[in-house]
Structure formats: C-alpha cells, structure tokens
Amino acid sequence: MVRIATWNVNSIKQRMPRFLPWLDERQPDVVCVQETKLTDAAISELLDDELERRGYQAAYYGQAQWNGVALLSKVGLDDVVRGIPDAPGFPDPEARAISATCGGIRVHSLYVPNGRTVGSDHYDYKLAWLEALRRDIAKGPDDAVVCGDMNIAPADADVFDPHAYIGQTHVTPPERAALAELQKLGLHDVVRERWPTERVFTYWDYRAGMFHQDLGMRIDLVLASGNVAQRVQAAWIDRKARKGTGPSDHAPVIVDLDEARDGDLGPMVPPPSSPRGPRKTTTLPQAR
C-alpha cells in the first residue's frame, strides 16, 4: 500500500507542532505540502533533520513570505521539477508547483492562485496558470496524481451554500471549466468518487466558528490518472487535523493505493508462499 496525502499547512513554521505529530500518526508515504511560506534554505533548516529521522526524502520550492510547495517521499523522489513550464507569473514566477516521480507515479504538489476577485488581474492570472498546468500535465506520463489546493470548488455540492458564493472566486464557470479541462485529460477526483453524495469539505474559514458549524468548501483535491485511480483503496479528508489548537484552515486529504498491478485486479487473496521480489509482468490484450 502507498499512502499519498496533500495538505495546505498555512505556514509550515507555524504548523510544526501539528505537522510532525500528524506525520507520525498518519505515516503517509508521499506528502504534498502547500503554503509553506519559507525559502528553501529556511524550510531545509526547519525540516531536514526531522524528515530524515522519519525516512523521508524532501524537495522544496519556496519563497519568502508567500506561497511555497514541497514534496516528501519514502518511496523515491526522482526527476524533481520546480514550477510549470511557461506558467505566467504575477508578475514574477511564484512558488506554486513542484513535481517528482515517487514509487512510479508522477506526483504534483500544487498551490493554484487564489484569484482574489472575479475579473481582477489575479483572476486572469489564475486562469492562465491553470491552462499552463493543463498543458504540462497533458505531456504525461500516464501514471500521475495531481494534488493540492486547487482554489476551485468543482461543483455547488462542494460549498456549504452556493448562494453565499455568488459572484465570488472559486465557483465561477471559467474556473470550473479550467478544472474540467484538466480532468478531461483522464484525471479522476478520487475523493468525490468515493463519497459521491456526502458533505465533504477541506477548508473552513478561521472566523465565526465556520469549522464547528461545518461551513466549508472542498478545494483541496487529489486527481488521479486512470491507472492510479483503479488502485484507490481509501480516499478521505482528515478532519481531525483541523480540530484543536493551532490548526491550518485546511485539512489534509489522504489516499491509499493498492500496490501496482499489471492491469487486472489479481487474486482476491495473495497466493500462499508467494516469493518476494519484482512482480512478473503479464501482457494483456488491449482494447481498441
């Protein structure tokens, strides 16, 4: 089993008392982090020893004060790419994307621009950035997970009250269309597919007891290519991490994947005394 998690921590420096115990409790194999708000030198100083002790490799793409993304992995961290080719800046490039190959899967940790107000320069930047992301993901490879704070609620069911968001960013048709175009590449929204009718949010405003009234939005997503989506054993939102003292305003999303197979579901029960080592590959007839 491989456990992948994504979490907008809203400052890794402030979140340390919550982040390390969460790592130890959930023990994710791969972690996508957003809103680290630290330079690479500063986050390295803060985290490297703690992560090495826990068996993680880490890659950072940060800047001072705002934004910042990271990838942690216990299952390999190869071919790290910081940023998205030809992505727009505001006006300069921002630290909003990092990707790497972890356990055979291309993993993306994303912090999509907020958009601020509909029709603003930042809103246009958000849409252009999403188009650059779509072009990049379209290049492949086939086994991919696109994780992070997408800053878009995919549907009205993903906000506590659609009327409360009329005219606001995160729900407008152009934003939802940009997300849909990304998903048309074959990406599955694995949490919504697992919880098709449930009220599942990942973000609650700090103010006015929004969390305690469960008045939130689902804007942190795990989008998995077909080959990866087929392996999903569990997909859920870790609301416990939003409770208690000093939480982020976002909760982590956690997805468990079965081991990679060769396209079939395999035996229901592992055969007794199966030898360890690389799984033998079997060529299956391809549908056309």
Question: Exactly one of 217, 235, 241, 251 binds DNA (CB under 7 A); which one?
Answer: 217
Provide, rounded to whole angstroms, the least separation between the CB of residue 139 and DNA: 26
Interacting positions 14-43 with DNA (CB under 7 A) = 14-15, 35, 37
Place of tokens 């379209």: 138
Question: Exactly one of 99, 109, 169, 225 binds DNA (CB under 7 A); which one?
Answer: 169
233 contact partners, CB below 8 Å, separation of at least 6: 1, 256, 257, 258
Q: Which stretch binds DNA (CB under 7 A): 7-15, 192-200, 253-261, 265-273?
A: 7-15
Provide, rounded to whole angstroms, the least separation between the CB of residue 135 and DNA: 22
Distance between CA atoms of 200 and 205, rounded to whole angstroms? 15
With 0-12 CB in 10 A as exposed, 13-18 as middle and 19+ as buried, what is 106? buried
Instruction: Tell me the DSSP string of 19-67.
Output: HHHHHHHH--SEEEEE---S-HHHHHHHHHHHHHHTT-EEEEE--SSS-
Provide, rounded to whole angstroms, the least separation between the CB of residue 101 and DNA: 27
Give the helix/strand (H/E) hosting 23: helix 12-26
With 0-12 CB in 10 A as exposed, 13-18 as middle and 19+ as buried, what is 132? middle
Q: Which stretch binds DNA (CB under 7 A): 5-13, 71-79, 127-135, 272-280?
A: 5-13
Place of tokens 């998205």: 84
Here's the x/- map for DNA, 107-146, by CB under 7 A: it reads as ------xx-x-----x------------------------
Provide, rounded to whole angstroms, the least separation between the CB of residue 208 and DNA: 3
Residues near DNA (CB under 7 A) are 8, 10-11, 13-15, 35, 37, 64-66, 113-114, 116, 122, 149, 151, 168-170, 203, 205-209, 217, 219, 246, 249-250
